[in-house]
Amino acid sequence: RLEKVSHKPLAGKKVVVTAGGTIERIDPVRFITNDSSGKMGFAVARAAQQLGADVVIIAGNTQASPPPGIAITHVESAIDMFEAVSALWEDTDILVKAAAVADYRPKERAAQKMKKSGDTMTLELVKNIDILETLGHKKSSQFLIGFAAETDNLEKYAMDKLRRKNCDLLIGNDVTAMGAGFGSDTNVVHIYDTNGLALSLPVLSKEEVGLRILECAVDRIAGSSE
């Protein structure tokens, strides 16, 4: 299907895609991260390129190889990702927040490798900035696409996040569904907009999911400028 894309509805548009998981350092050799593979973000980036966009990827920790021919900035922590996305914000037409941003980071980052001592150890964590929510409340012409992977109450959590973060689309995926979730080459998503559920897609390749998400965005951007 991707090969067949010949229309370029995103020509002249700048699409910024975040992918992968953030890394939150404990000390120079240890960190906290999550299972995000980066595949969904990379697939959206490829789809955006197929649709003619000028694409930039901001990638955290990923298992997948980044798509060739697309500009990529590697970042580590949520704070680094926020700075990288913020630097592009003024010129961004569509922001796709497929990254799994760590909700918390270690309160202290030890400058030297920590030594073991007692039989238990407690790591104090502090909340990270919510990148999407912060930018959602600053948005002017930008179109914001958030993601939510849930194990239960998908519609409720997806709509709560869409509203709280002032997103235009929220891509919900039930990680318990067959063919969905971390590391997989396929995904099963439900696309929500400000009115509620807009589209439920069957099991599709992440490439195809990326294309369908961007087509939804294109429809809405076109509609709002008429």
Residue positions in the annotated binding site for CTP?
103, 113, 147, 161, 165
- 209 interacts with ligand CTP by CB under 6 A: no
- Residues 17, 58, 75, 101: which binds ligand CTP (CB under 6 A)? 101
Q: For ligand CTP, how many residues bind (rule: CB under 6 A)?
A: 14
Q: If you ran DSSP here, which 8-state letter would residue 140 be given?
A: S
Question: What is the secondary structure of 176-210 as a DSSP string?
Answer: TSTT-STT-SEE-EEEEETTEEEEE--SEEHHHHH
- Which residue bears the tokens 């998400």? 213
- Contacts of residue 152, Cβ cutoff 8 Å, sequence gap at least 6: none
Residue 161 interacts with which of ligand CTP, Ca ion, none, CB < 5 to 8 Å by class: ligand CTP
Q: Is 187 a catalytic residue?
A: no
Out of 54, 93, 130, 155, the only residue in the binding site for ligand CTP (CB under 6 A) is: 130
The correct pick among 128, 142, 173, 187 for binding ligand CTP (CB under 6 A) is 128
Which residues lie across from 55 on neighbouring strands?
15
Give yes or no for residue 161 binding ligand CTP (CB under 6 A). Answer: yes
Quote the distance between the C-alpha of residue 75 and its chain's center.
Answer: 13
Work out the angle at residue 44's Cα, subtended by the Cα atoms of residues 105 and 203, and round it to the nearest 5 degrees. Answer: 100
Rounded distance between C-alpha atoms, residue 201 and residue 204, angstroms:
8
Q: 162, 192 in Cβ contact below 8 A?
A: yes
Q: Which entry of Ca ion, ligand CTP, none binds 27, CB below 5 to 8 A by partner kind?
A: none
Contact status: 103 vs ligand CTP (CB under 6 A): yes
Q: Are 105 and 128 in contact (CB under 8 A)?
A: yes
Query: Among the options 34, 61, 128, 153, which is catalytic?
Result: 34
Give least dist CB 103 to Ca ion, A.
Answer: 4
Which of Ca ion, ligand CTP, none does residue 147 bind (CB under 5 to 8 Å by kind)?
ligand CTP
Q: Which residues bind Ca ion (CB under 5 A)?
A: 103
Looking at beta carbons only, is 35 or 103 nearer to Ca ion?
103
Short-list 161, 150, 47, 36, CA closest to 99 = 36
Q: Cα separation of 177 and 151, whole Å?
A: 9
Under rule CB under 6 A, residue 148 binds ligand CTP? yes
Query: Residue 13 interacts with ligand CTP (CB under 6 A)?
Result: no
Which active-site residues does the annotation give? Answer: 34
Q: Applying CB under 6 A, which residues contact ligand CTP?
A: 78, 97, 99, 101, 103, 128, 130-132, 146-148, 161, 165
